[in-house]
Structure 1
Amino acid sequence: MDRRLFLVLLLAGCAGPAPSPPAPSSAGPHPAPPQPGNAPLQPPADPASSGDADFDSWRAAFRDKAVAAGLAPALVDRELAGLTPNPKVMRLDSAQPEFSKPVGDYIKGVISDDRIARGQRYRAELPFWPAVEQQFGVPRDILIAVWAMESAFGAIQGDFDVLRSMASLAYQGRRRAWAEGELIAALKVIASGEATRAQLKGSWAGAMGQTQFLPSNYLTIAVDGDGDGRRDIWSSPNDALASAANLLAKGGWARGQAWAREIAVPADFDYSLTEGPREAPAWWEARGVRAADGRPWSPAETGAAAMLSAPAGAAGPMFLLFPNHFAIRKYNNSTAYALGIGLLADRFAGGAPLVRAWPVETPLAIADRIGAQTALARLGFNPGAPDGVIGVNTRTALRAWQKARGLIADGYLSMDMVRRLNVEAGALPAAAPN
């Protein structure tokens, strides 16, 4: 036998089994494994917890409200599980723009050659207009303007989770009752099977689809325009636009009546009448008001009560606003928004631009707006809380102050009015004489 092979065999036979590793010592650096029954009990992590105790408390209370509203507990639990507040939604809801865009700048941004061309193409090409107009009485041009303004003709519908947005707004608390109602409505949409949670995408404020319906509006106002058995405001322009027509009709749209007419006034006109009485055109004519384009009032307009509006003050275009203007504001309660819809619709229909151009103005900073409101209050003209929002209360107070000071009482807060108010209230020194 080869000597080397003999030595290998001899060594293999002498080797015993490998020794077992020593058991770890409880006194050493490695702790002893826990024995059954002796391990400390740790509560399992709550899979539904958001990590925000206050939000979780709100969610638990809301769950009871949702179930009391008739929603199945299992559905509510499923959709609320893992829900967290969206900081971006809460920030957008509470933030106010630093600068307030003048209404003329807003309208100029609404009406563009490209938008007019696209709208005119849609008014000619879409086949469902006659049926929609016949059923609801709302002209296609108004509906196309809503479509353009709300979602760029369906292209930009928003990608926020509607449930999460509404939960965030409700938790934040500024509009809790409203947001909880919309959240319940969104859950009811899911429960109905008409749309899935994944479909419920929209703006940060929870508006959905091509015509940006809130969940409650979807439940009560959306319609099946194309007759396929579904109310699909996301993918069907017919459904979305017929639903918008239904909203406007329920908001008081009057068939055959204009939404507004641009007007001209005499030099000595009493501008304190703006945003005041609602009277027939003949009443306004007795005070010197005339249609800016020289055309007579239509029969429908002759019998309608209209309110006079000077959205950019005495230096800008002025309008008689008919009831249909206020129907548009059921979509968005903003004078500028309703003007944008109406003026854009007029252009779709082939109408001419306004006779009077919008003035060029300086945007007002929030400090300017709050300062003006504070000054009005200090001078005895109550505008409400100084919040920087120039609404009807502020404009009413401003008109009263302007009239008392012998100024044109149009209620328009320009930079000149801000300066005058602050000087009189002592917040700014008077200008040095030349």
Structure 2
Amino acid sequence: MDRRSFLALLVAGCADPAANLGPQLAMGPGAPTPYRPEPTVDLPPSGSPTFDAWLREFYIKAVKAGLPSDLLDRELRGLTPNDRISALDSRQPEFSRPVSDYIRGVVTDDRIAIGARKRDALPALADIEARHGVPRNVLVAIWGLESGFGAILGDFDVIRAMATLAADGRRREFAEDQLMAALKIIGSGEFPRSRLVGSWAGAMGQTQFIPTTFLATAIDGDGDGRRDLWGSSADALASAANLLSKAGWRRGESWHREVTVPAGFDYALTEGPRETPGAWAQRGVVPADGRPISTADQNAEAELIAPSGAAGPMFLAFHNHFMIRRYNNSTAYALGVGLLAQRLGGEGRLVRDWPQETPLALADRTAAQTALNQLGFEAGAPDGIVGVNTRKALRAYQQARGLVADGYLSLEMVRRLRSEVGAAN
């Protein structure tokens, strides 16, 4: 059952039992279904016919989902699209930011120092860690990356932001789900609309929860009976811990470990099989710092990743690394959180430095994907997003051409692909 169906059943479960049976069963087999008029939608025009048409459809959908019409009338009346949000949603960066640049930007001496002070000044973290099993340094690292330890919360009205995204249509289902959830928060009396502010994409509070995640996993961390992700750092961090715990965080296990590989290593194994550290050691993959694998990690399976290709540091990514990706589905983000957490815990810098990488223009990325497709290596739609499919296709191409098959799209690789396609044509 999908989440929307579950919510509909949950709402129905609170209504009159006879009504829950539906018109056919409540009135007996074969009885005619009574006519039920569409809800009356009386909202003033916004100035955008497209937005108004979507808003009317959403209003009817929301009423059918159980949201009170007085709530909808109050919160949706006078709503207009936010052109700034539409521009942000449609804008793809001209140049992609290399992983190395991202990590250098988030794992800094200043952030480490501030994070340590914030951590030590928050006694509730000890209880949060004990209760949920998520290390406090991981939580503080998420806090730092998401909102600068609560300093940057965003100032967008979440209702208006989600309505704008839904009406634009690119992420309609997602945005409507978030809008429904935000309206439920307001309707419950837990928070007024004035408190529901966040990023242009609807992320709220010090740990940047979208509304559906707030409803599902936000909890009270300071014992005052509320779950205030904006005003309470303890609530925000406890909620982040609850999210990771529910996602499947494994208490006591690592999230990643920097490793080295032997000369002649088959880099096509990156982002491939998940094996125990012992199995990887048989392939020559060993901890870069020479320290032994912890007892908790010896039987844990890990995937080998090379975010900057063969020229950069490599990692065994354990189960908990992928739980951080459940918070934000980005390899760079999960590494940033993990590396910052390790530095907060007193560990040193990486053994192997990040290489200097050249940012790739959008035209270069899409050209590489197009070339891979034309050469018979399925990279998916040429959208300029270098994800798993693109890297898999690139590794297959590199293997076929006798190159180091690390799946890393460098400017040199882009030029090679373009040249090969040009020669073929």
Q: Report the counterpart of residue 82 of structure 2 in structure 1.
A: 86
Specify the alignment match of 1:272 in structure 2.
268
Greater share of helix residues, 1 or 2? Answer: 2
Q: Return 5+ residue gaps in structure 2 as ranges.
A: 1-41
Instruction: Tell me which structure has the larger Cα radius of gyration.
Output: 1
- The answer as to whether partners of 1:225 and 1:238 remain within 8 angstroms in 2 is yes
- Report the AA paired with residue 205 of structure 1: A
8 A Cα contact 1:422 1:428, kept in partner: no
Deviations 1:271-290 (A, max 9, x none): 00000001111111111101
Please point out which of 92, 98, 105 is paired with 1:102: 98
**Contact 2:221–2:234 (8 Å) recurs in 1:** yes
Q: Percent identity?
A: 64
Instruction: Mark the CA change 1:427 to 1:144 in structure 2 (over 3 Å): closer, same or farther.
Output: farther
The correspondence for 1:315, drawn from 308, 311, 323, is 311
- Tell me, what secondary structure is at the counterpart of 1:100? coil
Separation in 1 of the partners of 2:130 and 2:137? 14
Number of the residue aligned with 2:375: 379
Q: Counterparts of 2:245 and 2:78 in 1: how far apart (Å)?
A: 40
User: What secondary structure, in the 3-state scheme, does the structure 1 residue paired with 2:251 have?
Assistant: coil
Alignment of 1:148 onto 2:160: no
Moved more, 82-91 or 311-320: 82-91
Task: Verify: 1:225 aligned to 2:215, yes or no.
Answer: no
Amino acid at match of 2:248: G
Q: Could you tell me which residue of structure 1 aligns to residue 17 of structure 2?
A: none
Aligned to 1:394: 390
Q: Distance in 1 between matches of 2:121 and 2:194?
A: 31
1:339 aligns with 2:335: yes
Task: Supply the distance in 2 between the matched residues of 1:79 and 1:396 (Cα, whole angstroms).
Answer: 46
Q: Amino acid of the residue matched to residue 290 of structure 2? A: G
For residues 64 and 131 of structure 2, the distance between their equivalents in structure 1, rounded to whole angstroms, comes to 37
Distance 1:98 1:324 in 2: 32
Q: Residues 121-132 of structure 1 correspond to what in structure 2 (within 5 A)? A: 121-132=117-128
Q: Which residue number corresponds to residue 35 of structure 1? A: none
Answer yes or no: is 1:53 the counterpart of 2:49. yes
Which residue identity is paired with 1:49?
A: P
Superposition misfits of 4+ residues, deviation over 6 angstroms = none
Q: How many residues align?
A: 384
Please list, as runs of the form range in 1=range in 2, the aligned pairs for 1:12-411 lying within 5 A after superposition.
Answer: 48-411=44-407
Q: In the TM superposition, what is the alpha-carbon distance from 1:427 to its structure 2 partner?
A: 7.2
1:125 CA drift (Å): 2.1
Quote how far apart the aligned CAs of 1:233 are.
0.5
Which AA in structure 2 matches 1:88? Answer: R
2:265 alignment partner, SS class? coil
Indicate the RMSD between aligned Cα atoms, in angstroms. Answer: 1.2
1:92 Cα deviation from its structure 2 partner: 1.1
CA distance in 1, matches of 2:175, 2:132: 29
Give the deviation of 1:123 after TM superposition.
2.2
Instruction: Answer yes or no: is the 8 Å Cα contact 1:75–1:191 preserved in 2.
Output: yes
Contact 1:396 1:411 in 2 (8 A): yes
Amino acid at match of 1:326: F
CA deviations on 1:99-149 (whole Å, 9 max, x unpaired) are 001100000000111110011112222111111011100011000001000
Aligned to 1:14: none
Runs (5+) with no aligned partner, structure 1:
1-45, 430-434
